[in-house]
Amino acid sequence: MTLPFEEAALYSAAPEKFIMSATLEMRRRSLEDPEGFWGEVAEGIDWITRWEQVLDSSNPPFYRWFPGAQLNTCYNALDRHVEKRGNQAALIYDSAVLHQRRTYTYRQLRDEVALFAGALASHGVTKGDRVLLYMPMIPEAVIAMLACARLGAVHSVVFGGFAPQELATRIDDAEPKAIVSASCGIEGVRVIEYKPLLDQAIDLSKHKPRTCIIRQRESCECDLTEGRDVSWQDAVASAKPHGCVPVMATDPLYILYTSGTTGVPKGVVRDNGGHAVALQWTMQSVYGVQPGEVYWAASDVGWVVGHSYIVYGPLLNGNTTILYEGKPVGTPDAGAFWRVIADHGVNCMFTAPTAFRAIKKEDPNGSLLANYDMSTLRSLFLAGERSDPDTLEWAEGKLGVPVIDHWWQTETGWAICANCLGIEHLPVKHGSPTLAVPGWDVQVVDEASHQVPAGTTGALVVKLPLPPGSLPTLWNDDDRFVSSYMTEFPGYYKTADAGYIDEEGYVYVMSRTDDIINVAGHRLSTGGMEEVIAAHADVAECAVMGVADELKGEIPLGFLVLNAGVDRPYHDIVSEVIQMVRTEIGPVAAFKTAIVVQRLPKTRSGKILRGTMKKIADRTEWRMPATIDDPVILDEITERLQAIGYA
Ligand code: COA
Ligand code: AMP
């Protein structure tokens, strides 16, 4: 038996505890012979020209998968399935807010996508151009993404909960030739007009798109700006279907902006070839889903989960995918997910733990389950934040199917660690997303990049090269790619998560090592919020940190120090900074609470004691830091937090 890397050490440390699994065996092969392994996996994709080599490692840390190969991602997601599965549902749109459903077969979806690709082309969009999408959860979002892929254009989807300023930053970075949007989104019972937000963003941005194509929705039609805007309906009425344009495997498919440690988001780039290879493989190996089956990721197309598992993964694999417009609760009740599963015969579901916490809060006994036939459901996958054991056990108990926590990031595009049900069902350990998936050489290291023993917490890193489908670079910013991910631990990708690996190779992801927080499964930067708040005229200094929240996992909490002489009521200033974050970052930040304090607690060298403040707010045990410059300030903070129900 040859064991890979840390497993060998783990095996010799505790052979009686060691599990020799098919996952580990496959992972060993993928790491010892990545070219052989991924070369075989790549046979699952239809290529126009085959690769010159599987992996080009000549310019680390810039690795390129399948250089020289040509393909079209849209062809692989739609056209190639039409002959065999032309009448199978490819996409089911289920709107719990409008009580509407629409099913697109593979043939219909291919035709709609070809037509919209024709519409984009008639507005001058060609291979390599960027197209920005600011869309609610409607089929046109999926159609627009695939139409870009069909043309070899690069889409960049921006989540609807972001404010115009955030949208403007992305417009300036991606410099899109066209923007595709809709007149409105529907959040529960509220209609959110998108068009004014889009107009504001374009006013704010330096780069101006040539065209905006706006899907008019019945719930709220909007005015169009003459000379720039055209309605979706008019754009397709005059369009001719467009064929699939061959692109290089290494050409970008999309840019997805994600929070970095400053207010400036990172444009994660995804290539065409490696992405198609990896995602199609994960459908079968990670999720255990066969072509023809029904797969549902209850997320949003604005997030990576939506890209990978509402759109590309299921379609590349010939599945039926569900596009759900609604919430887990309130549309109309906590049985909404069960209704979708029963109505569409969902076999495998994916969502964030926060959605299950919301359901559990409303219907703790799961009594609404009795109203639905859940017999098709085989598994539930959770990601986006750590699955707390309570929620996981509740879901296991109520659904009676394996509930799998898996760990990944926008950057990786697919799971780094999972219980790969398509390979084998390993024993579940609550609190762990199980083993590293084939392709990922996950290690835990100390500050000097030395591996630490099993059970010891450190930085979670991945030995290079990363597998296909993970980010090859950041858009227009190779330097930031290197400095953010590749510099601190040479030879490794820094995940910016901390955790440990136990003696059996199970990985535990415990916290971020930077200022990123996870609010209802949405990734946000507290540094970005601090930048906004610091601009308030009365604020001298501020700190924002993520504190525990029963529903959303974490929520941001702000601490404000005011300029000397400010005598306005504190609550006015707090309301203003809350509004500033909402206006500049968006409602998705869920920044609703802040307190005014005399000073921020700091070490004698001036570092803010964020860890201690967070512990006080979270009501976890804390000790007076030996290096604190002024211990009294912590009493004031504790008092203020108690007054608003924290600490
Ligand atoms: N467009 C416009 N606004 C949006 C939006 C969108 N697409 N998505 C969210 N928002 C708004 C919400 O309306 C809310 O605004 P409010 O402060 O005025 O109420 C705010 O952004 C925060 O939204 P959210 O964090 O989603 O909170 P919520 O209270 O509306 O719902 C959950 C809480 C748990 C039900 C919800 O977050 C959820 O279903 N999560 C599922 C997990 C998920 O999709 N994760 C993505 C990664 S897998
Ligand atoms: P995003 O890029 O939005 O997908 O967020 C990625 C971050 O979410 C990771 O770096 C983790 O901090 C967190 N995360 C995602 N999935 C998990 C998980 N299963 N367990 C723990 N943390 C997770």
| Ligand 1 atom at shortest distance from the alpha carbon of 350 | 48
d(CA 446, ligand 1 centre) in Å: 36
| Ligand 2 atom at shortest distance from the alpha carbon of 305 | 4
> What count of Cα atoms within 13 Å lies in the side-chain half-sphere of residue 457?
9
Determine the pLDDT at residue 265: 87
d(CA 353, ligand 1 centre) in Å: 13
Cα distance between residue 210 and residue 28, in whole Å: 50
- Measured from the alpha carbon of residue 305, the closest ligand is 1
Q: Residue 220: how many CB atoms within 10 A of its CB?
A: 16
Query: What is the arithmetic mean of pLDDT over 324-352?
Result: 97
Residue 327 has which token pair? 């919430």
Cα distance between residue 289 and residue 320, in whole Å: 11
d(CA 414, ligand 2 centre) in Å: 11
pLDDT at 630 over 90: no
pLDDT in tens, 22-78: 998 999 999 999 999 999 999 999 999 999 999 999 999 999 999 999 999 999 999
Closest residue to atom 17 of ligand 1, CA basis: 587
pLDDT at 646 over 90: no
pLDDT in tens, 270-329: 999 999 999 999 999 999 999 999 999 999 999 999 999 999 999 999 999 999 999 999
Determine the pLDDT at residue 189: 85
Q: What's the CA dihedral at 239, 212, 96, 101 to 10 degrees?
A: 0
Closest residue to atom 9 of ligand 1, CA basis: 161
Q: Distance between the two ends of the chain, CA-based, in angstroms?
A: 53
Q: By three-state DSSP, how is residue 181 classified?
A: strand
Domain extents in the chain = 524-643
Determine the pLDDT at residue 627: 82
Q: By three-state DSSP, how is residue 48 classified?
A: coil
> What is the DSSP pairing of strand 211-215 with strand 229-231?
parallel
Cα distance between residue 248 and residue 256, in whole Å: 19
Determine the pLDDT at residue 322: 98
Residue 489 has which token pair? 């631990």
CB of 327 shorter than 6 A to ligand 1? yes
Cα distance between residue 225 and residue 217, in whole Å: 17
Determine the pLDDT at residue 629: 82
d(CA 417, ligand 2 centre) in Å: 11
Amino acid residing at 292: G
Determine the pLDDT at residue 41: 98
Query: What is the arithmetic mean of pLDDT over 511-521?
Result: 91
What is the rounded average pLDDT for all residues in the chain?
94
Q: Percent of the chain at pLDDT above 70?
A: 96
pLDDT in tens, 178-232: 999 999 999 988 999 999 999 999 999 999 999 999 999 998 999 999 999 999 9
- Measured from the alpha carbon of residue 496, the closest ligand is 2
Determine the pLDDT at residue 12: 58
Is the distance from CB of 253 to CB of 284 less than 8 angstroms? Answer: no
Cα distance between residue 625 and residue 609, in whole Å: 8
Determine the pLDDT at residue 10: 55
User: Which of the listed residues 158, 159, 187 should we mutate to test ligand 1's pocket, taking the one with most ligand atoms within 8 A of CB?
Assistant: 187
Determine the pLDDT at residue 18: 60
Query: What is the arithmetic mean of pLDDT over 68-94?
Result: 98
Find the helix or strand (DSSP H, E) in which 594 lies.
strand 593-596
Amino acid residing at 149: A
CB of 306 shorter than 6 A to ligand 1? no
pLDDT at 377 over 80: yes
pLDDT at 13 over 80: no
Closest residue to atom 4 of ligand 1, CA basis: 161
Reported as a pLDDT band with limits 50, 70 and 90, residue 1 is: very low
Closest residue to atom 15 of ligand 2, CA basis: 384
d(CA 326, ligand 1 centre) in Å: 10
pLDDT at 11 over 80: no
Reported as a pLDDT band with limits 50, 70 and 90, residue 2 is: very low
Query: What is the arithmetic mean of pLDDT over 133-154?
Result: 98
Residues with CB under 6 A from ligand 2: 258, 304, 383-386, 405-410, 433, 495, 497, 509, 512, 518, 523
pLDDT in tens, 99-112: 999 999 999 999 99
Is the distance from CB of 176 to CB of 190 less than 8 angstroms? Answer: no
CATH pick for 524-643 out of 3.40.1010.20, 3.40.50.300, 3.30.300.30, 3.20.20.70 = 3.30.300.30
CB of 34 shorter than 6 A to ligand 1? no
